[in-house]
Amino acid sequence: MAEKSWWFDRICVLLQKEIMENRQRIQRISLSYLLITLLLFAALTYIPVPGGYTWNPWIINTATTLLFVLLTWLTARLARTHGTGLGVVLTGLFLLLFCPGVEKFFLRDEQALLELCSQCIVPFFMSQYVRLRRKDFKYWYFLMLLMGTFCSYTHNGVTIPLCAAFFWLSFRHLKGFFRMACWPMVIGFAIGTTLSLIFSPDAPSSILRLDLYLPQTLAQAPSTTWVVLRTLWDTKVFALALVLTAYVAYGPKGRQMIKHIARRHFALCVCLVFSLVSMPFAPLGIDNAVHGVCFFCMFWLLFLVKYLMERYWKVKF
């Protein structure tokens, strides 16, 4: 009887210890998000705005800060760095350093809010694609359709590759496509892409006339590709992602890790491939083509940096 009581007391002590550790970990993570919120809000408040505010400063600064914290949370969950406070802080710092279009976050107008909203929706869809296609959300279909349309229309840089990638991934499950919860999302991306091609100021006026657009685009494809590649090489995120990929792939363990990342984030890899393939055509302009490639390269670079920190610096996320 005394031995049973000892085992019971031992189990209770271990459970209490685990509960306390989990509580402390959650507190550290919450403090990390609070730190990001306070620092970004202070930066938005005290850094002067060229031309002044177009909206109420408190409203625009609060909305921008909350959307950036949401983007950090979604990115951290996608990269699985959300388990520690250090991982959350490093993810937020990584976004400020390498996220394409980060300078728009500090414009403090509707353009900054649209940019952040679109960038929040993209990692959400990429991380939830497998789960969404296996569940039936019933009454959420219309909301998912609107979200797909909004994301695709407002974020020109990732419109074409993201829409093409989701269509290709859905085509692989063509027989049961309309039984999946992802089909409103895919259709929404198609609608948003079409609207973006029609109304975008960067799209050529002849894009709806394929008999005029295709020959002209094919003739300009080599020069457009060269300009895009030269511009990409000047961007820090693409160059660093290329160098780190070559470095990691040099060893057998690194190649295994790259394969593991590609399998785990297959939707992201497909989006990255389609963004590279669409470069010679650049239907929404060279700047948007570069923005799309850099946006997907940012996530790939984050996965590689996490792998290197875990391997060489023994950082636990």
Tens of pLDDT along 235-280? 788 889 989 999 988 888 889 989 988 888 888 888 888 887 777 6
More confident residue, 23 or 288: 23
Question: Over 70: is that where the pLDDT of 111 sits?
Answer: yes
**Region 70-88: what's the mean pLDDT?**
91
Q: What pTM value is reported for the model?
A: 0.81
Residue 211: pLDDT over 50: no
- Using alpha carbons, list the distances in angstroms from residue 131 to 49, 128, 136, 216: 41, 5, 10, 41
More confident residue, 6 or 231: 231
Query: How many other C-beta atoms can be found within 10 angstroms of the C-beta atom of residue 210?
Result: 10
pLDDT of residue 280: 67
- For the purposes of burial, counting CB atoms within 10 Å of the CB of 301, is it exposed (0-12), middle (13-18) or buried (19 or more)? buried
258 burial via Cβ count (<10 Å: 0-12, 13-18, 19+):
middle
